[in-house]
């Protein structure tokens, strides 16, 4: 009996050693990111909607350029029910494109064009009027026209 008890104790001790890294305390282990189990999160956006106005090319003080535009997208039926303060049926989403090829392509779009934009939600900070401001927008990584609006 003593032998089987010793074997069990040895197994428990070996398992405990495997769990605890020699250079980390239990508190440090908890502070580490979770193990790679494929659930890392994502920041991916796909918008399909209408261009609300003429895209604007913006030259930043840093010398960088971007094109700024807005895409109007319909709200899903469930979203209008959950937001009790408004009966708004569409959202106007601010977007920007930073690469030269995307800027050229989007600069040719017209208000009313049905477009598809894929990218990521980003928060940009900048100085204006002596204060730090922020802007949340979709930064496009790809964009295309689905249907041209009729010439006005």
Encode pLDDT of 88-147 as tens digits: 789 999 999 999 999 999 999 999 999 999 999 999 888 888 999 998 999 999 999 999
Strand pairing partners for 91?
A: 73
Which residues neighbour 117 within 8 Å (Cβ) at sequence distance 6 or greater?
45, 46, 47, 71, 95, 138, 140, 142, 143
Within the chain, strands assigned E span 45-51, 56-59, 65-74, 90-97, 114-128, 131-147
Average pLDDT score, the chain: 79
The dihedral sign for the CA sequence 108, 110, 113, 119: positive
pLDDT of residue 17: 44
Q: How far are the Cα atoms of 41, 97, 106 from residue 55, in angstroms, in the given order?
A: 31, 10, 7
Which residues neighbour 51 within 8 Å (Cβ) at sequence distance 6 or greater?
69, 70, 71, 72, 109, 110, 111, 112, 113, 115, 149
Q: Which comes out higher in pLDDT, residue 59 or 35? A: 59
pLDDT of residue 22: 46
CA-to-CA distance for 145 and 50, rounded, in angstroms? Answer: 10
pTM of the predicted model, to two decimals?
A: 0.67
6-56: pLDDT as tens digits = 444 444 444 444 444 444 444 444 444 555 566 788 999 999 999 999 999
């Amino acid at each position: 009996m003593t032998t089987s008890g010793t074997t069990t104790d040895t197994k428990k001790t070996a398992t405990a050693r495997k769990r605890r890294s020699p250079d980390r305390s239990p508190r440090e282990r908890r502070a580490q990111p979770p193990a790679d189990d494929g659930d890392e999160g994502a920041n991916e956006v796909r918008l399909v909607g209408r261009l609300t106005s003429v895209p604007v090319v913006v030259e930043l003080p840093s010398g960088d350029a971007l094109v700024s535009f807005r895409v109007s997208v319909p709200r899903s039926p469930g979203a209008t029910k959950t937001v009790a303060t408004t009966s708004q049926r569409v959202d106007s989403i601010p977007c920007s494109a930073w690469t030269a090829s995307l800027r050229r392509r989007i600069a040719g779009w017209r208000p009313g064009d049905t477009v598809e934009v894929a990218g990521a939600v980003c928060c940009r900070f900048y100085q204006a009027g002596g204060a730090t401001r922020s802007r949340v927008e979709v930064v496009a990584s790809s964009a295309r026209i689905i249907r041209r609006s009729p010439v006005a």
